[in-house]
Amino acid sequence: DKEILQSFINLTELYLNENMITALYNNSFCNLTKLVTLDISSNHISTVHKAAFAGLNQLSVLNLSCNMITQLDSDVFTSLKSLTVLNLQYSFLESFHIKLPFQLIKVILAGNPWTCSCDLLDLQTWLTTCNVTKENENSTICTFPNTKKKFSIKTAAIHAADCKIEKPNLENSVTSTSAIKLKSSALLAPLTPNNITGNNGTHAELPLPGKSWTFLVGVLGFVLSTTLLIFTAIKCPTWYHYLISYSHRRLQENDSEMFEQEFSADMSSFPTVSGTNNEDPIVIFEKIHASVPGEDGFIEDKYIDSYVTEES
C-alpha cells in the first residue's frame, strides 16, 4: 500500500525485492524525496504507470530486473533527474523507445528477448552515441529475427533509411486497406434491406426474419425424437414376446394319428357300464353345468320324483 510509505520521508534506501508486487501505480513513492536507492527486483511486475516514480528527485539507482515487464516507455523515467544506474535485465522487453536524453552512467539490459527491428533503432542509437557503460554487453543480444540472432543489439544491422522507407509503405498499406474496406462497404450497401427502394423512390425497409422459429422447431424435433426412442425402447420387449408366443402351423397327417392315439388313451380312463363286454367299452359323458335354453330357474331333482312315486 503506497499510503504506508508516505510517513518515511527521510528514507534513503528501499529494498522491496523478492516480493509479489504486480504493478507500480502513479505516485507510489511521491513523499520519498530523499530516496537514493530503490530495488524492486525479482517481483511479478508487468505494468509500470508513467507517474510511478514521481517525486523521486534524488533517486540514483533503480533496479527493475527479473520482472515480467513487456513494454516500458522512457516517459516513466522523466522525473528521475538524478538517475545514474538503471537495471532492466532478465525481463520480457522486446523494444525500448528512448525519447529523452538519459544521463546514465551504467545500464544493464541483458537477458531480454530483444527484437532487432526498427522499433529498437532509438535504443541502438542512444547506446552508440551516449557514453554509458553497458554491463553484460555480450549477453545483450538479439533474439528475433533469425538473421540477426545472437548479434549484439548495439552492433546489429538496423538501417535508418530502411525504417524511413518502411513507415510510408506502412501508411500506404493502411490507407489502401481502408479504401478497400470503403469500396467493399459501398458494394455491399445496395444489397442491404434498408437500401432497397420501392416504386415511389423511398427506402422500403424489409423486416429481417428471426431465428427463434428455427430454434423452436429444433427443440420440438429433439423432444419428439427422444420420446419416440424411449417409447420404442420400452415397448420392444413386449412386442418381441408377443410375436414369439403367437406361433402356429398346419396340422399334418402324422399329427392326426397321434391325436387319435392320445384321444383313445384318454377315453380308456373314463368309467364303463358294468355288465357289458370289456372289448367294447361304453364311455359315459357327464354333463356339467349345462344350461338348457328356456329354463324357468327351477332345478329338477330326480330323487324327489322317485320318492314321491314310491310313497304314492
Structure confidence at residue 167 (pLDDT): 47
Helix (H, G, I), strand (E, B) or coil at 93: coil
Residue 85: per-residue pLDDT: 95
At residue 110, the pLDDT reads 94
pLDDT per residue rounded down to tens, the chain (312 residues): 778 888 899 999 999 999 999 999 999 999 999 999 999 999 999 999 999 999 999 999 999 999 999 988 888 998 898 999 999 999 999 988 887 667 889 999 999 999 998 888 888 888 888 888 989 888 899 998 888 888 899 888 887 777 865 444 444 444 444 444 444 444 444 444 444 444 444 444 444 455 677 888 888 899 999 988 888 777 776 666 666 665 555 555 555 566 566 656 555 555 554 444 555 555 555 554 444 455 555 555 555 555 555 555
User: Residue 12 is part of a domain; what is its CATH number?
Assistant: 3.80.10.10
144 within some domain:
yes
pLDDT of residue 228: 86
Beta-sheet pairing, 85-87 with 47-48: unpaired
CA–CA gap between residue 276 and residue 178 (Å, rounded): 126
Q: What is the pTM of this model?
A: 0.53
| Domain assignment of residue 233, yes or no | no
Asked whether residue 276 is assigned to any structural domain, the reply reads: no
Identify whether 286 is part of a domain: no
pLDDT of residue 263: 57
> Does residue 133 lie within any of the structural domains?
yes
Number of domains in the chain: 1
Does any domain span residue 96? Answer: yes
**Residues β-bridged to residue 62:** 38, 86
Which residue range forms the structural domain that includes residue 122? 1-162
Lateral strand order in the sheet of 106-108: 13-15, 37-39, 61-63, 85-87, 106-108, 133-135
Distance (Å) of CA 5 to CA 14, 28, 30, 33, 81: 10, 8, 9, 11, 21
Residue 217, in any domain of the structure: no
Task: Note whether 85 and 106 are within 8 A (CB).
Answer: yes
Say what the pLDDT of residue 64 is: 97
| Inside any domain, residue 11 | yes
